[in-house]
Amino acid sequence: MHKRYFAVPALVASAALALSGCASTPAAGTASSDLKIVATTTQIADFTRNVVGDTSGVSLTQLIQPNQSAHSYDPSAADLTALGAADVLVINGVGLEEWLADAIDASGFDGVTIDASHDVEVFGSEVETDHADETDHADEDEHAGETAEEHAAHAEGDPHIWTDVHNAEEIVHAIEEGLVDASADNAAAFEANAASYTAKLADLDTWIRANVDTVPAADRLLVSNHDALGYFTAAYGITYVGAVIPSFDDNAEPSAAAIDTLVAAITDTGVKAVFSEASLNPKTADTIASEANVKVYSGDEALYVDSLGPADGAGDTYLKAQIHNSTLILESWGVTPTALPADLQ
């Protein structure tokens, strides 16, 4: 069971003194805000931003920046300063923020933490594919590039919970509840903003589902850059054939055996494309696609998974990123998606 909120006591005074001269990370508010919020990932910050809206007296600092991996993130001194001054910290949870405990220790943060994964049903291990048993060494290959610490950090489950849009609705609800508890004076605004945004998420979920359902189940095949789309594929009835990096952690390196197994699975199942991710180097994905003689989606056609994209781009918000990803996946199956609902255009 995930805890929604927990408080961490203020820690070593020397750490706070070391950070006292650092400038704060830019926030969506003023330095004298009545409620200072820090959000960890790009997705969690976007969800929080939609709940906060233009509520006066509330600032929001986003730690991880666009196209930056949540797995390899290293907080700057300015990030730690912002965290130390925060009243509320909003996290993804499920072990995604492997660096979080050290950041809290260094910053002296002693506010309230909202664990956005509280109401989400978490998958306990890497999503199995139809070809997971083709080698007796599948489990060894799967984690070949991970250190013991990295593997342990993901032992509690797959942290990529936001890829299922229904999970995003639960995440927004958890953030809404946490912020209402933290700032009762702003409850009405937070609740109204969350309701409006959740309606858009519901429309997005319906749109994705209706379009995917036009494709025969046997043809709904997907290969991505790393094992991060398990919730998406489970939600929409897609067969996840495999990943270039067969690990939850995008810093892992695939073994030669894992690459050979994936190429064989692509050939055997008739997968038509390999999808790279905007925040990852597409080199290995390019190689696998070339060996399997299928199309690789990279560059502007890469998926936004671990991170949202830069401002004014195709994936700079969660809604836009999911539309972008779903559109490309559908097109790889030969489907032209239907028009978006009015509130998503």
Position 245 scores a pLDDT of 84
- Whether 251 and 69 have beta carbons less than 8 Å apart is answered as yes
Q: What pLDDT does 246 receive?
A: 75
pLDDT at res. 258: 87
3-state SS, residue 94: coil
Check: CB of residue 221 under 8 Å from CB of residue 203. no
Q: Which of the following CATH numbers is that of domain 5-123+161-201: 1.10.10.2840, 3.40.50.1980, 3.60.70.12, 3.40.50.2300?
A: 3.40.50.1980
Single-letter code of the amino acid located at 237: G
**Looking at residue 159, what DSSP letter applies?**
-
Please state at what angle helix 165-182 crosses helix 42-52, rounded to 10 degrees.
Answer: 60
As a whole number of angstroms, the distance between CA 117 and CA 168 comes to 9
Q: Report how far residue 340's alpha carbon sits from residue 117's, in angstroms, rounded to the nearest whole number.
A: 28
Assigned CATH class of 138-155+216-344: alpha beta
Topology alike, domains 5-123+161-201 and 138-155+216-344: yes
Whole-angstrom Cα distance, residue 9 to residue 253? 37
Output the six-digit token pair for 70: 């949540």
pLDDT of residue 239: 97
Residue 89's SS3 state is strand
Here the tokens at position 277 are 């991710």
pLDDT given for residue 252 in this prediction: 67
Here the tokens at position 8 are: 């961490």
CA distance 24 to 144: 38
Any idea where the domains of the chain sit in the sequence?
5-123+161-201, 138-155+216-344
Which stretches of the chain score pLDDT less than 70?
Answer: 1-32, 125-155, 249-252
- C-alpha triplet 325, 329, 335: angle, nearest 5°: 125
Give the burial string for 300-315 (b: 16+ CB within 10 Å, else e): ebbbbbbbbbeeebbb
